[in-house]
């Protein structure tokens, strides 16, 4: 795994740490919008424009995906968007993001994958704590076997944020964009084997809040050695 930020050390968070960080923000939808827009900005700078399929889940990660889809479309990308799961149960901030999406949603089985040149995996983020179902495994396996690279939002779908275990199936992702801190699942096996490159994006969370994360775990780095 190649961390593409230039930093001497990286604080590691677990699921509860991340939830606490997000809850510290007074406007959670504003935080989601900022995350989605910054993720789209990074994708636009790191990859050339191409036909891209964004797979959105029904929770917060999917909300990020809806915002990314609209932002990339606004930047001139050829974007196709699909929802993996029951659209009727989307609620809260994810529903707000969906309602702002101006793109037509397509069923995954109706999409011509031969023309797809990039996938964005926004199905599951840090909240996953169960094995993903058979239908989701098939979809993830399909894009994993495709020649186009995959970008994961927060963490590759199927990887447990807390311990790096694979909950059914997880695709190999060329780039993973995560927010504020690395998560334990990014650096622990076997989850870390699903990540080629990872970028930690600052979405404006106070460093005082991040520095209070317990337990205080950082990646061992030669710049910390005496």
Predicted local distance difference test score (pLDDT) of residue 213:
86
Once rounded to an integer, what is the mean pLDDT over residues 59-67?
A: 97
Predicted local distance difference test score (pLDDT) of residue 221:
61
Once rounded to an integer, what is the mean pLDDT over residues 38-44?
A: 98
Low-confidence winner among 19-33, 58-72, 78-92, 166-180 (lowest mean pLDDT):
19-33
Once rounded to an integer, what is the mean pLDDT over residues 31-48?
A: 98
Long-range pairs, 133-136, Cβ under 8 A, ≥24: 133/168, 136/84, 136/85, 136/168, 136/169
**What mean pLDDT is reported for the chain?**
93
C-alpha triplet 19, 125, 85: angle, nearest 5°: 120
Residue 199: beta bridge partners? 177
Once rounded to an integer, what is the mean pLDDT over residues 59-64?
A: 97
What are 69-111's pLDDT values in tens digits?
999 999 999 999 999 999 999 999 999 999 999 999 999 999 9
What is the share, in percent, of the chain residues with pLDDT greater than 90? 79
Fold held by 7-215? Rossmann fold (3.40.50)
- Statement: residue 210 has pLDDT above 90: no
């Amino acid at each position: 795994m190649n961390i593409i930020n230039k930093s001497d050390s990286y604080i590691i968070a677990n699921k509860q740490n991340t939830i606490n960080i997000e809850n510290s923000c007074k406007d959670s939808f504003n935080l989601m919008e900022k995350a989605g827009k910054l993720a789209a900005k990074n994708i636009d700078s790191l990859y050339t424009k191409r036909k891209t399929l964004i797979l959105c889940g029904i929770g917060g990660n999917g909300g990020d995906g809806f915002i990314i889809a609209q932002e990339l479309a606004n930047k001139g990308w050829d974007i196709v968007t699909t929802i993996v799961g029951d659209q009727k149960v989307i609620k809260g901030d994810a529903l707000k993001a969906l309602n702002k999406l101006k793109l037509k949603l397509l069923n995954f089985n109706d999409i011509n994958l031969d023309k797809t040149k990039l996938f964005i995996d926004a199905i599951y983020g840090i909240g996953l704590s169960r094995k993903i179902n058979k239908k989701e495994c098939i979809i993830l396996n399909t894009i994993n076997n495709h020649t186009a690279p995959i970008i994961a939002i927060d963490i590759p779908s199927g990887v447990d944020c807390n311990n790096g275990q694979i909950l059914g199936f997880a695709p190999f992702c060329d780039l993973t964009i995560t927010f504020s801190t690395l998560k334990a699942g990014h650096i622990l096996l076997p989850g870390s084997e699903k990540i080629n490159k990872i970028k930690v994006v600052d979405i404006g969370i106070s460093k005082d809040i991040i520095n209070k994360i317990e337990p205080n775990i950082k990646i061992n780095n030669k710049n910390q050695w005496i």
